[in-house]
Amino acid sequence: MSGAPPELEPGVRVGRYRVVSELGRGGMGGVWEVEDDAGTKFALKAPASGVAAPAMVTQRFAREANAVRLLDHPNLVGAVDVFVEAGYLFLVMERVVGRTLTKALAPGPLAPRRALVIARQVLEGAGHAHAAGVIHRDLKPDNIMLVERGEPGNTWETAKIVDFGLVKLVGDAEAAFGGGKLTSVGIVFGTPAYMAPEQAQGHAIDGRSDLYSIGTMLFEMLTGRVPFDESDPMKVMRMQVKMPPPRLDEVEPGQPWVTPELVALIEGALIKAPADRFPHAAAMLAALDDAFLSLDRIA
């Protein structure tokens, strides 16, 4: 029962859901598309270990399930159900159909206004999570889904934060669901290219670490590259800690859309010391709105 996700074939019933297809699996678990008796589609997730196994992955999965259940925001993937069956813990989530920000960036940088709209939605979702005591700590383009809404000829894009597998709980959320046992100072979690300096050093983190990651994603959306682009993860982590990030106006010299407000937004998010960074998502949102309005002044 431990070490691998459950085997769920199409047509099998799990709880009150019928398995439609497998969406993916890996060392941490598996994800399936399921539907209820009304035909509504959901995503079903299970860890690689059964609930009886003393595996860290199962404990982390339980924490992820509890964390997602705390959240209710249009820019966050929604939790629908949590249950145990056949010795496995299952998390049922909103089925998000779209493409990742990674795929959207494959052709190159995004238009500045589009990049700012996406970043704003990610900030809104992250701010809601932070207020509930939930720190994502792995915000990156792979974990941002872009969903097309509306009707043909009148569509818009909604960004949704997904995959809370590395979530950290703080405050009341940690008191309710635990967290200290699974997170030790000196242990590094996350993705180096998007990791805040304090995270790369294994120090204590809070919502400001997520803001650093969002600033990194915004830089990438605007320029087509991350601030520290190296193949060696350890070198990237050292750069996150010690090297000043490149300035937006130096990477994109002469571009009329590189306004002082936009430069200040990126710099404010990528400050090394958390105490000097934007203190919370609301402050970064205010700076983002200033940057967005500054684009209107471009001749």
Dist. CA 49–CA 15, nearest whole Å = 18
Reading the block at residue 199, the tokens are 């995270």
- In which region does residue 291 sit, left (phi positive, over 0), alpha (psi from -120 to 50) or beta (all else)? alpha
Task: Judge contact between 273 and 233, C-beta under 8 A.
Answer: no
* List 36, 37, 81, 138, catalytic entry: 138
- In which region does residue 158 sit, left (phi positive, over 0), alpha (psi from -120 to 50) or beta (all else)? beta
Q: How far is the CA of 44 from the CAs of 99, 100, 136, 176, in angstroms?
A: 18, 19, 20, 24
Angle, vertex CA 173, rays to CA 172 and CA 179, nearest 5: 115
Q: Is 172 a catalytic residue?
A: no
For the chain, the straight-line distance linking the first and the last C-alpha, in angstroms and rounded, comes to 64
The residues with which 89 forms a beta bridge, in sequence order, are: 84
Active centre residues (catalytic): 138
